[in-house]
Amino acid sequence: MNLTLKVWRQKNPRAAGGFETYEAKGVTPEMSFLEMLDVVNEELIAGGRDPIAFDSDCREGICGMCSLVINGIPHGGQPGTTTCELHLRHFHDGQTITVEPWRAKAFPVVRDLITNRSAFDRIIQAGGFVSVNTGGTPDGNAIPVPKTTADRAMDAAACIGCGACVAVCKNASAMLFVAAKVSHLNLLPQGKAEKDRRALNMVKQMDHEGFGNCTVTGSCEAVCPKEISLSFIAKMNRDYGVATLKGQ
Amino acid sequence: MKTIANIFASSLGKKYIMAVTGFGLFLFVIGHLAGNLQVFLGPEAINRYGAFLQSNPELLWPARIGLLLMLGLHIWSAAKVSLENRAARPEGYAAYEPVGSTYASRTMLVSGSIIFVFVVYHLLHYTAQVQYLNLTGRDFRVFVDLKDRHDIFKTLVVGFSNGWVSGFYILGMALLCLHLSHGASSMFQSLGWRNDVYRPMMENLARVVALLIFLGYSSIPAAILFGYGREVLR
Ligand code: FES
């Protein structure tokens, strides 16, 4: 099949960017979206031109490195799918596809389709951890965790931190990411000790990074490749509210 | 003091303010509707109700000031949040699809702004009773019933007999319906009082309540346009 791509090209964070049109010829429906870009890039390199810069790593939907807003939807709009798992069979022969980077003040474009997502790392550093004193390995069964609690914590922990929630949100809000990370640890007994501090510090860092506010549109949950529920945002709101009212 | 300052400064805190004031205003909208619907019980009921509300300024004014304060905070938080949201995405998309979101949720600022214009008009129209704004050429302030009370029934019938005014009221209520179909459930989300179990129920309930509020309020101008209460004009 043949596809026409309108791709955002931008030399560096300060340069003005713009769309360039490329033809992806002779690609197959079994290829992933990134493999198709690889094909286009090989042709560009062979022709002595700059390849399109984009992020990827595991290419199996677990690392959160791939991004891309494809025809207006982060990760291309297939439920529970990252761009690296998106196959060309979801497109039709001759289709024109617009490819853009995540757009948010907190995610500046580094080059072409690559954005700097280290704002997420700084939010994690602000509280997305459990403080432990190193020592002997603790007995795995010393702290009982009910199955339902463990499952819910796991639902939140499934977040791979790709930033699609920010990219799709009309407010460029990072609430779904932060909510997933706050909830994951706040639900578990190991994380409970630092529950209040975690909620306060991570939200504070999130605000500091310049993300927008949640207006509960639900777009984030719709595009999340790990299908994180909007209800985790409600949980974060609750945890943050309780911590605030305690006057911490 | 620091706690209060934190609430006003943080993203989540501003949403708490929006949700709490929104909840207060939501309760008012329901109470006001229940009061207004007495118009269908005839002149005696609604005029008695009006006289009762006016009879106690010591209660009336604190209630009014409280409502204005809530409205002010609701608008302040909306303005602040919207400005921050705009700043959070300086460069937009060439292609953008708002997947998974409802029309109501994306247009809260627009619906809210028009509702605000409506509220200002409504207060000048029926509370302050500014004559030239009612478009009927009549002075509502001189309408008095047989028991020497302000004749609210006649005021409503005269006021809503103008199609433009009634139309604007119905439009205002349609936007309130749109605003509440999202807001009446999302305020619980903002306060953290929602989870996967309650969420579908709350979302559906918000839509039903918003629609009932629209039908309830619009029924008054609509009924008057169709001739209800016409006899007081004679
Ligand atoms: S490359 Fe790892 S999730 Fe897509």
Distance from the Cα of residue A111 to its chain's centroid: 18
Percent of chain B with pLDDT over 70: 100
pLDDT for position B27? 98
Question: Which residue, chain included where needed, has tokens 């303005």?
Answer: B79
A67 within 8 A of A52, measured Cβ to Cβ: no
Three-state secondary structure readout of chain B:
CHHHHHHHHCHHHHHHHHHHHHHHHHHHHHHHHHHHHHHHHCHHHHHHHHHHHHCCHHHHHHHHHHHHHHHHHHHHHHHHHHHHHHHHCCCCCCCCCCCCCCHHHHCHHHHHHHHHHHHHHHHHHHHCCCHHHCCCCCCHHHCECCCCCECHHHHHHHHHCCHHHHHHHHHHHHHHHHHHHHHHHHHHHHCCCCCCCCHHHHHHHHHHHHHHHHHHHHHHHHHHHCCCCHHHHC
Identify whether the C-beta of residue A203 lies closer than 8 Å to the C-beta of residue A238. no
pLDDT of A139 over the 90 cut: no
ipTM entry = 0.92
Q: How far is the CA of A29 from the centre of ligand 1 (A)?
A: 19
Q: Does B88 touch chain A (CB under 8 A)?
A: yes
Spacing, Cα A56 to ligand 1 middle (Å): 6
The two three-digit tokens of residue B88, written as one number: 């959070």
Secondary structure (3-state) at A50 = coil
Closest listed residue to residue B231, CA positions, set B165, B136, B153: B153
Q: State the pLDDT confidence band at A77, using cuts at 50, 70 and 90.
A: very high
Q: Are B20 and B76 in contact (CB under 8 A)?
A: no
- The residues, any chain, with a CB within 8 Å of residue B193's CB and separated by 6 or more, are A234, A238
pLDDT of residue A89 exceeding 80, the answer is yes
- C-alpha distances in angstroms, A130 versus A120, A164, B173? 17, 26, 50
**Is the pLDDT confidence value at B199 over 90?**
yes
Q: How confident is the model at residue B211, as a pLDDT?
A: 98
pLDDT beyond 90 at B109: yes
Q: What is the 3-state secondary structure (H, E, C) of A105-152?
A: CCECEEECCEECCHHHHHHHHCCCCCCCCCCCCCCCCCCCCCHHHHHH
Sort B43 into a burial class: Cβ within 10 Å, 0-12 / 13-18 / 19+.
buried
On the question of pLDDT at A18 being above 90, the answer is: yes
Q: Which of A55, A62, A226 to mutate to test the pocket of ligand 1 (most atoms within 8 A of CB)?
A: A62
Domains and CATH numbers, chain A: 3-110 (3.10.20.30), 118-246 (1.10.1060.10)
pLDDT band at B86 (very low <50, low <70, confident <90, very high): very high
The listed CATH number (1.10.3470, 1.10.15, 1.20.1300, 3.30.2010) that belongs to domain B2-84+99-233: 1.20.1300
Residue A135, pLDDT score: 81
The alpha-carbon radius of gyration of chain A (Å, integer) is: 20
Please determine, for residue A136, whether its predicted confidence score (pLDDT) is greater than 90: no
Residue A99, beta-bridge partner list: A7, A70
Instruction: For B218-230, write each residue's pLDDT tens digit.
Output: 999 999 999 999 8
Stretch 151-170 of chain A: residues touching chain B, C-beta under 8 Å: 168, 170
User: Residue A72's pLDDT is what?
Assistant: 97
Phi, psi of A208, deg, nearest 5: -60, -35
The pLDDT confidence band at residue B3, using thresholds 50, 70 and 90, is: confident
For residue A84, what pLDDT is reported?
A: 97
Torsional sign, CA A201, A167, B14, A182:
negative
Structure confidence at residue A128 as a pLDDT band (50, 70, 90): very high
pLDDT score, position B233: 80
Q: Does B1 touch chain A (CB under 8 A)?
A: no
Each residue's pLDDT tens digit, B111-153 = 999 999 999 999 999 999 999 999 988 999 999 999 999 999 9
Find residues 39-78 of chain A whose CB sits inside 8 Å of chain B.
69, 71-73, 77
Structural tokens at position B144 = 């008095």
Q: Express each pLDDT in A157-195 by its tens digit.
A: 999 999 999 999 999 999 999 999 999 999 999 999 999
In the prediction, which pLDDT does A138 show?
Answer: 78
CB contact under 8 A, A214 and B11: yes
Which band of pLDDT confidence, cut at 50, 70 and 90, is reported for residue B15? Answer: very high
pLDDT reported for residue A141: 84
Is pLDDT at A94 greater than 90 in this prediction? yes
Interface contact A215-B3, CB threshold 8 A:
no
Take atom 3 of ligand 1 and give the residue whose Cα is closest. Answer: A61
Q: Which residue, A181, A144, A170, A182, is CA-closest to A222?
A: A170
Contacts of residue B220, defined as CB under 8 A and 6 or more positions apart, other chains included, come to B36, B37, B39, B156, B160
